[in-house]
Amino acid sequence: MNELSIYFSPVDKKLWQKTEDSTLWGDRIEIYNEEFPDLSECKIALFGVKENRGNNDSVEVVNFDNLRRSLYSLQWFDYFPSIVDLGDIVSGKEIQDSYFALEAVIEELVKQDIIPLFIGGSQDLTFAQYKGYEKLEQLVNLVNIDHKIDIGEVNEGMHAENYLTSIITHQPNFLFNFSNIGHQVYYNSQTTLAMTEKMYFETLRLGQLNKSVHYSEPLIRNADILSVDLRSISSAFMPKRSFPMPNGISGREICQMAWYAGMSDKLTSIGLYEYDDNDLGAMLVAQIMWYFVEGVSQRKEDFPKSSTRKYLKYTIHLNEEEHELIFYKSPKSDRWWVEVPYPDGSDSKYFRHLVVPCTYEDYQKASNGEMPDIWWQTFQKLT
């Protein structure tokens, strides 16, 4: 028996009756409802986390049956990677038990080169998602899609509104960078916004995202871990019983960002949090998961991990700044990166972060004599 099986409860057989020669997800993925699935050929592992005690506004038990029915009914394509549905991690006796279970599952799946794609539960579970990387001995980037940057006091205990503070202050610290996409200023204090700027964290406001979802792509491409607060989606696309959101991310935008995440060679886990069960929300989340998987199937394996010899290279001199900026363009995907020099010379510990995803607009800005924000913020983190 697989050692991960102790953490999961199986999927109810009544949710889906498999048929032969179907082109639907429910017939093409492996589902844990009798024997725990063989993970040897698995590329993506789906599961739920039935833990929401970290959200003080939520008292209902999380249920993913409606979501699974919606997901299983979507069309499957032959070029999709192998997927298993592992069932659900059930809430532990104490919330720390749930954290431990998720941390152990994330660690084992990532070590096996399997991408965890899971649905929660309260967003404080992001802390356990992050801790799953602690023993992997590498610095990681965390990206949140959230209307609120969840930094706050932790003297009352960690919860869904302050868990980022626990991540930032956790020792050993293996967080290289944090970015937030889609925040709405009136949900965030001046202190929080000033702190993110002081720590050189990247933030992308909802208004900027609404102008063009393309602005989110380099941030997502640079993520190892993606955490999505589903409450940041407009209530027009995802009705919420406890948290109305008149302004927010659209259904099209969140699906596009899920596709970007799937396309990213660097991203190794994604958690969708604060799920509120209803028919419209279930189908939207199912489509988010579909687009992520479709993105994974389109990965180009062109993240410059150790060499840039196969990339188109562009060098720009900024006279006033006395900097030489080197940009790289992938001939496979036309995506852009910018090189950020380590201040004291080469340091292998930071190599994965020295060639940073950027946009063509960043290259244009440098061509016009302006320093791109992403270069400067990354350089400051290395000093």
- The CA distance from 37 to 35, in Å, is 6
Peptide bond into 172 cis (omega under 30): yes
| The pLDDT of residue 1 is above 80 | no
Answer yes or no: are the C-beta atoms of 234 and 250 closer than 8 Å: yes
Per-residue burial over 101-127, b = 16 or more CB atoms within 10 Å of its CB, e = otherwise:
bbbbbbbbbbeeebbbbbbbbbbbbbb
- The CA distance from 4 to 247, in Å, is 40
CA angle 215, 225, 54 (to 5 degrees): 110
Domains of the chain: 3-297 (3.40.800.10), 312-382 (no CATH)
At 313 the three-state DSSP class reads strand
pLDDT tens-digit series, residues 148-199: 999 987 777 899 999 999 999 999 999 999 999 999 999 999 999 999 999 9
In terms of average pLDDT, the best of 213-217, 310-314, 378-382 is: 213-217
State the CB neighbour count (10 A cutoff) for residue 128.
Answer: 26
- The CA distance from 225 to 339, in Å, is 22
DSSP characters for 182-250? EE-GGGS-HHHHHHHHHTT-EEEEHHHHHH-GGGGHHHHHT-SEEEEEGGGB-TTTS--SS---SS-B-
| The pLDDT of residue 345 is above 60 | no
Question: What does pTM read for this prediction?
Answer: 0.94
pLDDT tens-digit series, residues 68-122: 999 999 999 999 999 999 999 988 999 999 999 999 999 999 999 999 999 999 9
Give me the numbers of helices (H) and strands (E) for the chain, helices first please: 12, 14
User: pLDDT tier at 323 (50, 70, 90 boundaries)?
Assistant: confident
Alpha helices in 33-162 (DSSP H): 65-72, 95-111, 126-131
Q: Distance from first CA to last CA of the chain, Å, rounded?
A: 48
Tokens, residue 307: 């060499």
pLDDT tens-digit series, residues 52-63: 998 876 556 678
Per-residue burial over 337-366, b = 16 or more CB atoms within 10 Å of its CB, e = otherwise:
bbbbebeeeeeeeeebbbbbbbbeebbebb
For the ranges 183-197, 227-241, 348-362, the lowest mean pLDDT is seen at 348-362
